[in-house]
Amino acid sequence: MDYVRLGRTGLKVSQLCLGCMTYGAPDRGNHPWTLDEEKSRPLIQRAIEEGINFFDTANSYSDGTSEEIVGKAVRDFARRDEVVIATKVYYPSSKAPNIGGLSRKAIMSEIDKSLRRLGTDYVDLYMIHRWDYTTPIEETLETLNDLIKAGKVRYIGASSMYAWQFAKMIYTADLHGWARPVSMQNHLNLLNREEEREMIPLCIAEDIGITPWSPLARGRLTRSWGEKSYRTETDEPGKKFYEELFEQADRQVVEAVAAIAERRAIPRSQVALAWVIRHAGVTSTLVGASKESHLTDAVAALQVELTDAEVAELEAPYVPHNISGFE
């Protein structure tokens, strides 16, 4: 496992980041396909053994139980100062006023809840999960800067949004002398490449670390077209990400992945992951793992070097898609 700097920081993260939305109480929140603590712990331990030092979760995943599971496992299987824990804030846990969003009140409350669940006194990377249209970005950024000064957060980042919003976030932080975001966790895979237009060039220009989510398109790139899984059937948020409108082109991409995997005699997941890993600007790719084989394949994908001809074959069927994942 290689370790790379996250953006312009001195923080070193593994090329793979374990996406921990997979871990959490199945009866909490809107992720019934998640694994409970007993099933999650061996996978988190295996990730650490494979050299992964970067773990991503969020306060909203399975009503916070993901943070609880991850925090306990990291304490049991690793040294706190040797791992990088990232969590996120934005989504509300109830419909009450001031719960959720990125107001000063909400962020100050949520960071303390996350720290308690994680069982740590600081978060390495604290990200805004989505853009808050109701709170001035100045209020959000000053609050995040205060969390860094208080020692509760080491670095800040963001997840999916429009490039103009992220640009506003960067220049507002610079204008006021506040901590600027160091990472962007965006939606990038062979079935959704819209981030190539503006967000990725912006991140490269500003030396922002890119940590893509859903590199396998919710598993669609790992199986034959039309094949379903329990997660596919129960993943309500994920159903909105890939529209039938683009079915013909998407199917051709999936078939290209399958063809290259067959020629190389490797799993399809390794081909799809290798494409994301080699993508310009990408620092660390999020991978979900509900089986040990998922981790084995992800680590193996780091050694897969696609040829220019293979990349062209994978990319040729793509057509422009609608924005998906944060609209």
Active site residues: 61
Note whether 183 and 160 are within 8 A (CB). no
SS (H, E, C) 238-272: HHCCCCHHHHHHHHHHHHHHHHHHHHHCCCHHHHH
The candidate with the shortest Cα–Cα distance to 177, out of 146, 215, 218, 208, is 146
- Distance in Å from the first CA to the final CA of the chain: 35
The residues, any chain, with a CB within 8 Å of residue 167's CB and separated by 6 or more, are: 202
Task: In whole angstroms, give the CA distance from residue 133 to residue 139.
Answer: 12
Longest CA–CA span in the chain (Å) reads: 55
Query: Where do the H-state alpha helices sit in the chain?
Result: 37-49, 65-77, 104-118, 137-149, 163-176, 199-205, 230-234, 236-239, 247-264, 268-277, 292-301, 308-315
CB atoms within 10 A of CB 320: 9
